[in-house]
Amino acid sequence: MSPTVLAGRRALVTGGTRGIGRAIALALAAAGAEVTVTWTHTAGDAERMRAELAAGGDRHEVSRCDVASREAVADFFRSRTGDRAFEILVNNAAVTRDGHLMMLSDDAWNDVLATNLTGPFLCLRPALRGMIARGFGRIVNVVSPAGIMGKAGAASYAASKGGMIALTRSLAAEVAGFGITVNALCPGVVDTAMTAGIAKEARDAMTARIPAGRLGRPEEIAHAALFLVLPHAAYITGATLAVDGGLVTA
């Protein structure tokens, strides 16, 4: 991708220090955007990411911000208005606290919804004001096949992602007139630190269900995210783009 296609655009990627978020942030930076990534629990990854982004210039930023915290998000956005407002927002930060619903604690349920669904809401609210002021915005919400198909043992995670798909469609219609697009990006099973921890047998069984016959690579997800935020993608909004090797449609 040309290093100028997103020149002068400011992008925020939440949960952007590892895995899919990291790949998206690096792709946006490579396309010329000024990238800010946030992290919550991944101090080591944040340091590595800071070095990695710094190698591409000094316009980038790595900042701690728990999107589940109303106060932290308000603090984070307080200084990022006007010229410092974001034109691109990738809501990627997410957590899982799996368990059978009947046995799920209030905390486990609330934590997942707070980060995965309320977190994007808290970030979108201030970010939209800057985008409306500029008449340009690109929002990408990272969701999951679980949000479409459901997933046994992960009802809270699936509900949060299904909620994000509905939020995406609703918001897309609300702000389409302002030059803002809102899309959901739905990665299938991707080869990250999270999936690397899965036992070989389970991993093989998972791979067997994917028509493409392999896991996805973070760079492949990032490529789709980049496509959605390009100025030329102005007429794509409210969509859920699956990048899953055929998993959901199989």
Partner 1 sequence: MTMDRETLKQKLKEILVSGLRLQDTDPASIADDQPIFVEGLGLDSIDALELVVLIEEHFGIAIPDEEVGKSAFASIAALAEYIGAERDRAG
DSSP per position, 195-249? HHTS-HHHHHHHHHTSTTSSPBPHHHHHHHHHHHHSGGGTT--S-EEEESTTTTT
Q: Inter-axis angle of helices 19-30 and 43-54, to 10 degrees?
A: 20
Q: What are phi and psi of 141, to 5 degrees?
A: -105, 120
- Min CB(79)–partner 1 separation in Å: 14
Which one-letter amino acid corresponds to residue 50?
R
Q: Is there binding between residue 129 and partner 1 (CB under 8 A)?
A: yes
Q: Is there binding between residue 132 and partner 1 (CB under 8 A)?
A: yes
Length of the chain: 250
Q: Is there binding between residue 178 and partner 1 (CB under 8 A)?
A: yes
Q: Is there binding between residue 47 and partner 1 (CB under 8 A)?
A: no
Sole binder of partner 1 in the list 62, 122, 175, 224 (CB under 8 A): 175
Measured from the CB atom, the residue of 31 and 182 that comes closer to partner 1 is: 182
Measured from the CB atom, the residue of 137 and 145 that comes closer to partner 1 is: 137
Q: What are phi and psi of 243, to 5 degrees?
A: -125, 80
Residue range at the interface with partner 1 (CB under 8 A); choices 17-25, 61-69, 125-133, 214-222? 125-133
Sole binder of partner 1 in the list 174, 212, 213, 250 (CB under 8 A): 174
Q: Is there binding between residue 79 and partner 1 (CB under 8 A)?
A: no
Q: Is there binding between residue 84 and partner 1 (CB under 8 A)?
A: no
Catalytic residue flag (residue 235): no
Sheet strand arrangement including 240-243: 61-64, 34-39, 10-13, 88-91, 137-142, 180-187, 240-243
Measured from the CB atom, the residue of 81 and 240 that comes closer to partner 1 is: 81
Dihedral angle of Cα 38, 108, 20, 132, to the nearest 10 degrees: -50
Which entry of 39, 86, 157, 227 is annotated as an active-site residue? 157
- Min CB(170)–partner 1 separation in Å: 13
Which DSSP state fits 97?
-
Residue range at the interface with partner 1 (CB under 8 A); choices 8-16, 18-26, 99-107, 171-179? 171-179
Sole binder of partner 1 in the list 133, 152, 166, 198 (CB under 8 A): 133
Q: Is 153 helix (H, G, I), strand (E, B) or coil?
A: coil
Residues that bind partner 1 (CB under 8 A): 128-129, 132-133, 174-175, 177-178
Catalytically active residues are 157
